[in-house]
Chain A
Amino acid sequence: MIQKKVCMLGTFAVGKTSLVRRFVESIYSDKYHTTVGVKIDKKVVQLANSELTLILWDIEGSQTENDLRKSYLRGAAGYLLVIDGTRQDTLYQALALHNRVIDTIGAVPFLLLMNKADLASEWSISERETTALHDKGWEVMKTSAKTGLGVEDAFRTLAQKLAEA
């Protein structure tokens, strides 16, 4: 059994916690966010010929990248950058967070999750911006914690990347 530490990063109220709440095993309440600033959850992902356990460090949503507790990033094998598709500023903050992560632990596999896909009509992030990210080599996935769209897929995709890394 291979385990990997994975961080869930994103600005305040982008839906990180909602993403994990329905799809992962958890023994800790959401209160941990406001107290310790991080909540540990577990997700076992079935891959083609193996199984990978993701230990998810759901890090408290911060307003800016400067609020990020760097020590929680230490030892992470990969991370999920979560943004709110309806709030463009969350994308810019995610970019800043990304730079921060690279400064701290170096380049490791990651995914950008555009959450709240169920509210596609209210999206404020343009197609051009997502294309630009693709061009940078970023993998962007659309998810909806509400409908469950793309969530399992996202975890599996990241797990696959980690297994190959």
Chain B
Amino acid sequence: MPMSDTKGISDYPKPDPASDDETVAELRSLLLGQAELQLAEVHERLFDPHRQLKEISNVLPDAIAVRSRQDDELTTALSPTVSAALERSVRKNPQPIVDAIFPIMGPAIRKAIATALGGMVQSFNQTLNYSMTTRGLRWRWEALKTGRPFAEVVLLHTLLYRVEQIFLIHKETGLLLRHVAAPNVAVQDTDMVSGMLTAIQDFVRDSFQTSRGDQLETLQVGDLTVWIEQGPEAILAAVIRGNAPQELRPILQDILERIHLQFGTSLTEFTGDAAAFVATEPLLEEGLQSSYDTAQHVRKSSGKINPFTVTAAIVLLVFLVWGFFWLRDRQRWNSYIEKLRNEPGFVITDSGKQGGKYFVSGLRDPLSRDPTALLQGTGVDANSVVANWQSFQALSPQFVLARAQKNLEPPAGVKLTFNEGTLEAEGFASHNWILEVRRTARLLPGIYRLRDDKLFDLERIEDPLLLFDLDQVTLQSGQEDKLNRLVDDLNHLRQLAGVRPVRLEITGHTDGSGTEMRNDKLSQGRADTVAATLRPRLTSWSNLTIISLGTKEKLRMEMNDVDRATNRSVKMKVIVDDNH
């Protein structure tokens, strides 16, 4: 407003203040009119709390919806309040919330647990089913004995159960709401049983100071079990004969939950009239029915071949086959080692299996049998054996004798025996061999003495000469004793030789005088003379072979008459057939 106007108004005479106010008000209403009313309403809207409440309540749901679509600030803001409210409500009286969430809580928890433990439970079940429990083994034995399938035996023992009765009981009063029974089940007064079941639960809870909310869940007498499922308003008691499987529990729980869901109001308002609960009968009968379904299911599952069983069977088979061969090879190897241990000339210091091959090491007398040859007949593959032998000289009698045989090379006609350090030679042998034995026998390990008194020295036959006079084929006189001794020795030799063919070679000799033609005749004649003389006296020689020969060979150089006389003689030689 311009300054001059203000000045102008103040120049008017001062009016009465009261009438002035009225005038202003009138003027205002004239000037502003409708707008003033609206202003008053706005004022009221802004500052009247009741009005405000109403206004906000009109837009609140929409506002919440709009804001929720926009972002989740509202949720964030409300969260603490809602949590606190819920907490306070639960603390004040948990029952309404318990009742409200009861129908969904069971399934939710079961689902969560089932998901989390599913894998574990499955493997655990399998382990239980197939592990070698004594019970399982006993049943297997029973199945074997009776010729029934194992599954059937298991069924007989574990799965023959029946839900005989189901009681639906009002929790508060213990009054029976509904009762169902399987066919042919003897039923006591169900009203009283229902009351007593409730009383027993109270009794147990009161008597044993169970924690709050804990309830009696199972009653068991012999093969009769009563399973009690608790709900907020009602109790389900199932009377089961036999061995009830755990799968039945959730089925009963589910029935009770559905009853709570469908008959919630009837349960809360129950005052003794159970008529409303006739309709629960089909639900309750599911509990009776499910027992057979479950039995069927378990029968199927224990009857079917599952991969675990197959795998286990294969593993077992492989193990058995491998075990059989392993045992057999081991048995064979052990018997071979045992054979070696018992074999003379072997000392086993170590044996075993390493890197897929058998090994054996120890001492071996070179005179022992070939260890590879010993493998024959044992079933052990020669290629799978690594042997490491060190040579040694065994001092067992057998080996001492064998070594003597090998080193002394006794001629045919000599038999060697060994006993307690003494080597004995029997039979007949050349003088040279006898000398050799006497010299070397005691050098051999294990031999301390030599006995040769039963050894016939062939020198006794081969050494003596039968003499002849000059140009004669008849024996020189005075040789009777020599001849007798010779005959005795020959008969003795014959005895010693036994069946062995022995030939007697008789060779005639001459001195250097006379013609060659004459000497041939003489030597042959002299041999023939001796042969003819001996033959009748050697009757024991059943197959006497006498070879008489004349020879130009001189026995010794003729330096004088003694040499010439010696050369006019007959000499004998014993020939033993080695090949025999």
Q: Mark A65-91, 1 if CB is under 8 A from B, else 0.
A: 000010110111100000000000000
Closest chain-B Cβ to A47's Cβ sits at a distance in Å of: 13
- Listed stretches A37-45, A124-132, A139-147; interface member: A37-45
Please measure, in the bound complex, the distance between the C-alpha atom of A77 and the C-alpha atom of B273, giving whole angstroms: 12
A55 at the binding interface (Cβ < 8 Å): yes
CB-defined contacts of B188 to chain A, threshold 8 Å: 27
Please measure, in the bound complex, the distance between the C-alpha atom of A72 and the C-alpha atom of B205, giving whole angstroms: 11
Q: Which of A5, A40, A76, A77 contacts B196 (CB 8 A)?
A: A40
Q: Mark A114-139, 1 if CB is under 8 A from B, else 0.
A: 00000000000000000000000000
Q: Which of B176, B192, B271, B274 contacts A25 (CB 8 A)?
A: B192
Contact A57 B191 (CB under 8 A): no
Contact B175 A74 (CB under 8 A): no
Knowing A2-B272, A3-B272 touch, does A53 contact B191 (C-beta < 8 A)? Answer: yes
Closest chain-A Cβ to B379's Cβ sits at a distance in Å of: 76
Q: Which of A2, A37, A57 contacts B195 (CB 8 A)?
A: A57
Contact B199 A77 (CB under 8 A): no
Please measure, in the bound complex, the distance between the C-alpha atom of A105 and the C-alpha atom of B532, giving whole angstroms: 155
B217 at the binding interface (Cβ < 8 Å): no
Q: Which of B195, B202, B206 contacts A5 (CB 8 A)?
A: B195
- Residues in B157-211 with C-beta less than 8 Å from chain A: 170-176, 188-189, 191-196, 199-200, 202-203, 205-206
Contact B203 A40 (CB under 8 A): no
Contact B175 A71 (CB under 8 A): no
Contact B191 A3 (CB under 8 A): yes
Knowing A3-B176, A42-B189, A55-B174 touch, does A36 contact B195 (C-beta < 8 A)? Answer: no
A48 at the binding interface (Cβ < 8 Å): no
Knowing A5-B195, A36-B203 touch, does A75 contact B174 (C-beta < 8 A)? Answer: yes
Q: Which of B172, B192, B203 contacts A74 (CB 8 A)?
A: B172
Additional A-B contact list (11), CB under 8 Å, known A4-B175, A74-B173: A5-B173, A27-B189, A27-B193, A28-B196, A36-B200, A36-B203, A40-B196, A55-B174, A75-B174, A77-B272, A162-B272
Contact B192 A55 (CB under 8 A): yes
Closest chain-A Cβ to B191's Cβ sits at a distance in Å of: 5
A102 at the binding interface (Cβ < 8 Å): no
Please measure, in the bound complex, the distance between the C-alpha atom of A5 and the C-alpha atom of B196, giving whole angstroms: 12
Contact A55 B202 (CB under 8 A): no
Please measure, in the bound complex, the distance between the C-alpha atom of A36 and the C-alpha atom of B193, giving whole angstroms: 14
Chain B, residue nearest A105 (CB):
B172
Please measure, in the bound complex, the distance between the C-alpha atom of A77 and the C-alpha atom of B271, giving whole angstroms: 8
Contact B195 A40 (CB under 8 A): yes
CB-defined contacts of B170 to chain A, threshold 8 Å: 75
Please measure, in the bound complex, the distance between the C-alpha atom of A162 and the C-alpha atom of B173, giving whole angstroms: 14
Knowing A3-B176, A5-B174, A42-B189 touch, does A71 contact B271 (C-beta < 8 A)? Answer: no
CB-defined contacts of A26 to chain B, threshold 8 Å: 192
Closest chain-A Cβ to B261's Cβ sits at a distance in Å of: 22
CB-defined contacts of A41 to chain B, threshold 8 Å: 192
Contact B199 A55 (CB under 8 A): no
Closest chain-B Cβ to A146's Cβ sits at a distance in Å of: 25
Contact A76 B192 (CB under 8 A): no
CB-defined contacts of A77 to chain B, threshold 8 Å: 173, 271-272
Contact A1 B175 (CB under 8 A): no
Q: Mark A1-45, 1 if CB is under 8 A from B, else 0.
A: 111110000000000000000000111100010001110111000
Please measure, in the bound complex, the distance between the C-alpha atom of A32 and the C-alpha atom of B196, giving whole angstroms: 10
Closest chain-B Cβ to A53's Cβ sits at a distance in Å of: 6
CB-defined contacts of B200 to chain A, threshold 8 Å: 36
Chain A, residue nearest B196 (CB):
A40
Q: Which of B175, B195, B202, B273 contacts A69 (CB 8 A)?
A: B202
Closest chain-B Cβ to A71's Cβ sits at a distance in Å of: 4
Please measure, in the bound complex, the distance between the C-alpha atom of A68 and the C-alpha atom of B191, giving whole angstroms: 24
Closest chain-A Cβ to B210's Cβ sits at a distance in Å of: 12
CB-defined contacts of A74 to chain B, threshold 8 Å: 172-173, 202
Q: Which of A3, A27, A40 contacts B199 (CB 8 A)?
A: A40
CB-defined contacts of A1 to chain B, threshold 8 Å: 273-275
CB-defined contacts of A32 to chain B, threshold 8 Å: 196
CB-defined contacts of B192 to chain A, threshold 8 Å: 25-28, 40-42, 55
Q: Identify the interface centre among B174, B203, B272, B274: most chain A CB within 10 Å of its CB.
A: B272
CB-defined contacts of A76 to chain B, threshold 8 Å: 173
Contact B175 A5 (CB under 8 A): yes
Please measure, in the bound complex, the distance between the C-alpha atom of A23 and the C-alpha atom of B438, giving whole angstroms: 132
CB-defined contacts of B271 to chain A, threshold 8 Å: 77
Please measure, in the bound complex, the distance between the C-alpha atom of A36 and the C-alpha atom of B196, giving whole angstroms: 9
Please measure, in the bound complex, the distance between the C-alpha atom of A38 and the C-alpha atom of B202, giving whole angstroms: 10
Closest chain-A Cβ to B280's Cβ sits at a distance in Å of: 16
Knowing A53-B191, A71-B206 touch, does A36 contact B199 (C-beta < 8 A)? Answer: yes
List 17 A-B residue pairs with CB atoms under 8 Å apart, sorted by A's residue number: A1-B273, A2-B273, A3-B273, A4-B272, A5-B175, A26-B192, A27-B188, A27-B193, A28-B192, A36-B196, A37-B203, A38-B203, A40-B192, A42-B192, A72-B202, A74-B173, A75-B175
Closest chain-A Cβ to B230's Cβ sits at a distance in Å of: 14
Please measure, in the bound complex, the distance between the C-alpha atom of A25 and the C-alpha atom of B189, giving whole angstroms: 9
Q: Mark A54-68, 1 if CB is under 8 A from B, else 0.
A: 010100000000000
Contact A71 B191 (CB under 8 A): no
Closest chain-B Cβ to A160's Cβ sits at a distance in Å of: 14
Contact A71 B189 (CB under 8 A): no
Task: Please provide the 10 A-B residue pairs with the shortest distance between their CB atoms, ordered closest to farther.
Answer: A75-B173, A40-B195, A75-B172, A71-B202, A5-B173, A40-B196, A2-B272, A38-B199, A36-B203, A3-B175
Please measure, in the bound complex, the distance between the C-alpha atom of A60 and the C-alpha atom of B420, giving whole angstroms: 106
Closest chain-A Cβ to B333's Cβ sits at a distance in Å of: 73
CB-defined contacts of A53 to chain B, threshold 8 Å: 191
CB-defined contacts of B174 to chain A, threshold 8 Å: 5, 55, 57, 75
Contact A55 B172 (CB under 8 A): no
Chain A, residue nearest B204 (CB):
A36
CB-defined contacts of B194 to chain A, threshold 8 Å: 55
CB-defined contacts of B175 to chain A, threshold 8 Å: 3-5, 55, 75
Please measure, in the bound complex, the distance between the C-alpha atom of A55 and the C-alpha atom of B193, giving whole angstroms: 10
Closest chain-B Cβ to A41's Cβ sits at a distance in Å of: 7
Please measure, in the bound complex, the distance between the C-alpha atom of A38 and the C-alpha atom of B201, giving whole angstroms: 12
Q: Mark B60-73, 1 if CB is under 8 A from A, else 0.
A: 00000000000000
Q: Mark B200-228, 1 if CB is under 8 A from A, else 0.
A: 10110110000000000000000000000
Q: Mark B284-315, 1 if CB is under 8 A from A, else 0.
A: 00000000000000000000000000000000
CB-defined contacts of B191 to chain A, threshold 8 Å: 3, 42, 53, 55
Closest chain-B Cβ to A56's Cβ sits at a distance in Å of: 8
Closest chain-A Cβ to B98's Cβ sits at a distance in Å of: 17
Chain B, residue nearest A71 (CB):
B202
